[in-house]
Structure 1
Amino acid sequence: MGDPAGVGPEVIMRAAASLSAHELAATTVIGTADVLRRAAEVTGVKLPLSQSPKDGHLHVTEVEVPGLSADWGKLHASCGDASFRYVERATRMAEAGEISAIVTAPINKEALNSAGHHYDGHTGMLAALTGQRSSFMLLACERMKVIHVSTHVALSEAINRARPARVIETIEAGHAHLRRLGVEAPRIAVAGLNPHCGENGLFGDEDDTYLAPAVAEARKNGIDVVGPISADTLFHRAYSGQFDLVVAQYHDQGHIPMKLVAFDTTVNVSLGLPIDRTSVDHGTAFDIAGTGKADHGNMLHAIAYARRLAATRAAKRETAS
């Protein structure tokens, strides 16, 4: 459900009301029913809630959050605690096979950390909860996909993380994801770190020293990947259809072009985990929380992508059996 004080509950209720009867029956919201009822009131959604599966109702898996204070648009540590508890419950349910995929509504990182849960966001939280050393953030829209070498770190740290081992792992994770979605031979391009990829060392040597060897190694492993390519032209080329995936070196390098071309439809996908998770690609929007103005389109795209991943996981199980 995300942060109870943000727009997450509102976009969830609007999205749930838009689902088919079959989709609604296969959906559960992990969160706090009272907050969802308030969201239904402000959005005008007439969808009843139920804590057990029931035709025509939205099933809610209730999570207890002691001392929850969820005033719309107000940052509160208890909401950060709630955000963590919802994700933790969802993760355990996914690991147990009780649910096929997780879709997350937005959380507030300041509230999360003020509650004592010291993560950089959903991606790091899910990696820790599932015992993974790291995970990868992929942003997807109809015409472009971008996976990130690093995300929520200072730019100086992002430069330090752009090293061959991590870049190769990122390429491989993106390649495996596209193959899972049915792209037989993914075309991948790695974005340069420095302007013009350093101009042969004039603007830095990281592209030649670290990125080029990573690309060469991935190519030796049979992946169709090129680069590094100067980021100022690469995203246009990818948007025009030359590449199936771009490997961005840091958060803003990948997020800015994606949000420019598909602000309302981009889906955030976590890769490198034993479970599937998608998310909206917007924040808690405290400034409009509780007004009923939040658009649910991004949530519908995140749900649809999660169902697509769930279908591929089910197909893999059937093939294995």
Structure 2
Amino acid sequence: MNRPIIALTCGEPAGIGPEISLRAAWELRDEVRCVLLGDAALLAQTAYDIDRQMRVAAISIQAWRNTGLPNFPADCLCVIDCPAAEPVRAGQLDARNGRAVLQTLDMAVEGALNGAFAAIVTAPLQKSVINDAGVAFTGHTEYLADVTKTPQVVMMLAGGDAPHLRVALATTHLALKDVPAAITAESLARTLDIIQADLQGKFGIARPRILVTGLNPHAGENGYLGREEIEVIAPALQAAQQRGIDARGPYPADTLFQPKYLEDADCVLAMYHDQGLPVLKFASFGHGINITLGLPLIRTSVDHGTALDLAARGLGHADHGSMMVAIRAAAEMARKQKDAQASP
């Protein structure tokens, strides 16, 4: 079977990342060839504790670079060993392991850019551990943009239980007081161009329909509750339409997220993090995914964090549903991208 090869970074080793990565990769082994990146000894022990039928075989980074991936059978998961600096204790963070977590991301990006991996799927990591290790780090999205030298990326979440609900963000991890200044005609133009390009190239949607929220309550109420809609957002949408992008709005965010509107949309562009994401997470938390648009590679992720409290309780408490959705979505996007590139 022609299974796409997906790099799966296992995230914070003291969290639920190793468990949900193994469980999802094992369940999907007949559909997708997942290559796990993490501490091989930890993953082997975790696999043994989950299911003694689960087989794991490791390869070093250098061996992978020299010879490529071994041709393991479908019932054996491949691990590229990114060893932790210190022993891992479930639920207990250790900054000394922060750089090993970053190494998994670096290897995944390297493999995706050289064609070894069709896509990247990331398990959750702990930002504080990376920062405590001496590396300035604000999140997966920003880090991947930096290492791939991508000037702008767009965060989009999609609902697993609501497969047609996709919410992209004009701004990401900003304090609310900083959002209005960050929304400019130029930034919205770049954001809409990225959404349009990836919905076409990675999702196979020929003519994407994008609904755009306003910034203020009631989309500014004709200027009485703010003028950003009149002075920034509406002109940016008009310019996008002239470029051939079907972007409509700005709409009041409190009434836009209804089936009668969403059934005609391929994506909603919200102005800030907590404007769009609570709706999506309410609809599909635990089965939603995070997708980074604009990168020169495909990257999906789960919609939750490291869940250190669950990891401390032992195996069997974490839900790997979001990881399953993220892997399947990455594989489908890889197929759509391949088809788009093959089309004349």
TM-score normalised by length of structure 1: 0.93
SS class of match (2:290): strand
| TM-fit CA distance, 1:296 | 0.9
What letter matches 1:11 in structure 2?
Answer: I
SS class of match (1:21): coil
The alignment status of 1:113 with 2:131, answered yes or no, reads yes
Q: Is the 8 A contact 1:198 1:204 kept in 2?
A: yes
How many residues of Structure 1 are paired with residues of Structure 2 in the alignment? Answer: 317
Task: Choose the corresponding residue for 2:264, options 221, 236, 242.
Answer: 242
CA distance in 1, matches of 2:209, 2:338: 26
SS class of match (2:18): helix
The alignment status of 1:164 with 2:185, answered yes or no, reads yes
Task: Choose the corresponding residue for 2:194, options 173, 187, 199.
Answer: 173
SS class of match (2:53): coil
CA distance in 2, matches of 1:44, 1:253: 41
The alignment status of 1:195 with 2:217, answered yes or no, reads yes
1:1-321 equivalent positions in 2, closer than 5 A: 1-21=10-30, 23=32, 26-44=33-51, 46-51=53-58, 52-55=70-73, 56-65=75-84, 67-141=85-159, 142-180=163-201, 181-237=203-259, 240-289=262-311, 290-319=314-343
TM-score normalised by length of structure 2: 0.87
Q: Which blocks of at least 5 consecutive residues in structure 2 are unaligned?
A: 1-9, 59-69
Deviates more, 1:34-43 or 1:281-290: 34-43
Q: Which whole-Å deviations, capped at 9, do the CAs of 1:253-308 have from their partners, x for residues lacking one? A: 12101100011221111111111111111100111013321111111110011101
Q: Is the 8 A contact 1:218 1:225 kept in 2?
A: yes
CA distance in 2, matches of 1:296, 1:5: 16
1:129 and 1:114, CA in 2 relative to 1: closer, same or farther beyond 3 A? Answer: same
CA distance in 2, matches of 1:95, 1:246: 29
SS class of match (2:309): coil
| TM-fit CA distance, 1:153 | 1.7
| TM-fit CA distance, 1:171 | 1.6
| TM-fit CA distance, 1:137 | 0.7
Q: Which whole-Å deviations, capped at 9, do the CAs of 1:106-134 have from their partners, x for residues lacking one? A: 01111122122222211000000101122
Q: Which whole-Å deviations, capped at 9, do the CAs of 1:158-201 have from their partners, x for residues lacking one? A: 22211111112112221222223222222111111111112122
SS class of match (1:124): helix
Q: Which whole-Å deviations, capped at 9, do the CAs of 1:67-101 have from their partners, x for residues lacking one? A: 23421112221343222111011101111111110
Identity within the alignment, %: 38
SS class of match (1:284): coil
Q: Is the 8 A contact 1:140 1:267 kept in 2?
A: yes
